[in-house]
Amino acid sequence: MKRFTAAILAILLFAAGAASQTPPRVLSPYDIERFVKDAPGLFADLESSGEDVDDRVAESQDDPASFSPETLKSLMSAARASPEGRRVLEKYGWDARFWDVYFTIFVGVYVSMMDQALAQIPSPEFKAHVDRFRASIHRDDHTLVLRNLPRLLEVFEALDEED
């Protein structure tokens, strides 16, 4: 009986560990719609307030060796703590959850674009890099981003044109 109980506990601990490695689901179709609608004005207002997060994210990509999900999360944590950033988010009816939505959408778009590059030029090292990003968001979130990819790419392209 002790072995049976120990085996059950081991299985439960293993299952809990595996479940904790899966990032939580963040996005809904409504989040995508809001992001597409609000992002152009919101990021312009963030830039005007001195919180140009989109520019910092773009700059962080310049050094591929240090560009990682952790880098992005760090940038978003700093923006989350900014009083100016909070005021801009409030103007658009968002709270700090916006940064989770932005991170998830950004990573989903990034992974989708890098998957296209990998199909053209396979590289085990680059695939490992992309897989780190892929593992940082929930699979269902990535699927939702893929379904909305053309619209999301338009948003990110418009943000790039503003810089």
Closest CA to 58 of 14, 110, 126, 105: 110
In SS3 terms, 130-150 reads as HHHHHCCCCHHHHHHHHHCHH
- Which of 65, 70, 63 has the alpha carbon at shortest distance from 103? 70
* pTM of the predicted protein model: 0.84
Q: What is the pLDDT along the chain (163 residues), one digit of tens a residue?
A: 444 443 343 343 444 444 458 999 999 999 999 999 999 999 999 999 887 787 788 888 877 778 999 999 998 898 889 999 999 999 999 999 999 999 999 999 999 999 999 999 999 999 999 999 999 999 999 999 999 999 999 999 998 887 6
Half-sphere exposure of 10 (CA within 13 A, CB side): 6
Per the structure block, which two tokens stand in for 16? Answer: 């809990």
Output the pLDDT for position 96: 92
Residue 105's Cβ-count burial label (10 Å; 0-12, 13-18, 19+) is buried
pLDDT of residue 64: 74
- Give residue 20's pLDDT: 53
Listed in sequence order, the residues at least 6 apart from 35 whose beta carbon sits closer than 8 Å to its beta carbon are 101, 102, 105, 152, 155
